[in-house]
């Protein structure tokens, strides 16, 4: 197979040596790094807000003896924490700094922190937040396309998990109706 579209290996090695200080970001990185870091910091804020909301819901549901729903909320909180960690790690790989500041956290986040009164309210608010996360991850994936495949793949995996979460919540909501 001829590698007409591939950059020859000598050129690749030379370029890699030229920008050693930039770590994982090579001249072959075609995305706008500042924009990607900014988008990832918004996603990080979203995940942190989701961790906080799910943990609150976990303890509140436990308080009203809804054990099944409470443990689902805890599982989601742990998944969102995992997403936050993946995103923060990728931000540093790109030479950026993950923003964990509580100041303005809810403004940077796409999803909201809503406490919810009843169990049904909590599940509904979580479902809304998941749907917002799903839409924003889809948009980011489209934006990245083949400019930053590593970040894109990470976001695709997170997106799949958020879709699973939305599905879990829709089932919980349906279960409540049939009680």
Q: Which two tokens stand for residue 98?
A: 């993950």
Q: Supply the minimum distance, in Å, between the C-beta of residue 80 and Fe ion.
A: 4
Pick left, alpha or beta for residue 102 (phi over 0 → left; psi -120 to 50 → alpha; otherwise beta): alpha
Q: Which residues contact 19 (CB under 8 A, 6 or more apart)?
A: 25, 26, 27
Nearer to Fe ion, 36 or 53 (CB): 53
Q: How far is CA 32 from the centre of its chain?
A: 19
CA distance 103 to 112: 15
Nearer to Fe ion, 42 or 80 (CB): 80
Nearer to Fe ion, 47 or 148 (CB): 47
80 near Fe ion (CB under 5 A): yes
CA distance 103 to 81: 19
With contacts defined by CB under 5 A, name the span among 12-20, 65-73, 127-135, 140-148 that binds Fe ion.
Answer: 127-135
Beta carbons of 151 and 36 less than 8 angstroms apart: yes
Q: Supply the minimum distance, in Å, between the C-beta of residue 74 and Fe ion.
A: 13
Which of 162, 168, 169, 172 contacts Fe ion by CB under 5 A? 162
Q: Please report, as residue ranges, which positions from 32 to 51 form the binding site for Fe ion (by CB under 5 A).
A: 47
83 near Fe ion (CB under 5 A): yes
Q: Which residues contact 145 (CB under 8 A, 6 or more apart)?
A: 152
108 near Fe ion (CB under 5 A): no
CA 13 to each of CA 6, 19, 20, 30, 86: distance values in angstroms, whole numbers, following the listed order: 13, 11, 11, 17, 28
With contacts defined by CB under 5 A, name the span among 65-73, 81-89, 144-152, 170-178 that binds Fe ion.
Answer: 81-89
165 near Fe ion (CB under 5 A): yes
Total residues binding Fe ion (CB under 5 A): 6
Q: Which residues contact Fe ion (rule: CB under 5 A)? A: 47, 80, 83, 130, 162, 165
């Amino acid at each position: 197979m001829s590698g007409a579209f591939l950059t020859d290996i000598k050129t690749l090695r030379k370029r890699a040596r030229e920008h050693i200080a930039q770590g994982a970001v090579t001249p072959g990185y075609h995305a706008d790094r500042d924009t990607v870091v900014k988008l990832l910091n918004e996603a990080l804020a979203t995940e942190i807000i989701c961790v906080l909301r799910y943990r609150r819901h976990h303890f509140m549901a436990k308080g009203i003896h809804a054990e099944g729903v409470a443990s689902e909320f805890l599982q989601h909180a742990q998944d969102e924490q995992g997403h936050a960690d993946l995103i923060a790690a990728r931000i540093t790989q790109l030479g950026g700094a993950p923003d964990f500041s509580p100041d303005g956290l809810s403004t940077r986040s796409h999803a909201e922190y809503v406490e919810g009164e009843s169990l049904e309210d909590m599940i509904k608010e979580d479902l809304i937040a998941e749907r917002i996360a799903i839409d924003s991850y889809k948009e980011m994936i489209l934006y990245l396309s083949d400019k930053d495949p590593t970040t894109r793949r990470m976001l695709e995996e997170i997106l799949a998990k958020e879709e699973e979460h939305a599905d879990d919540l829709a089932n919980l909501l349906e279960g409540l109706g049939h009680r």
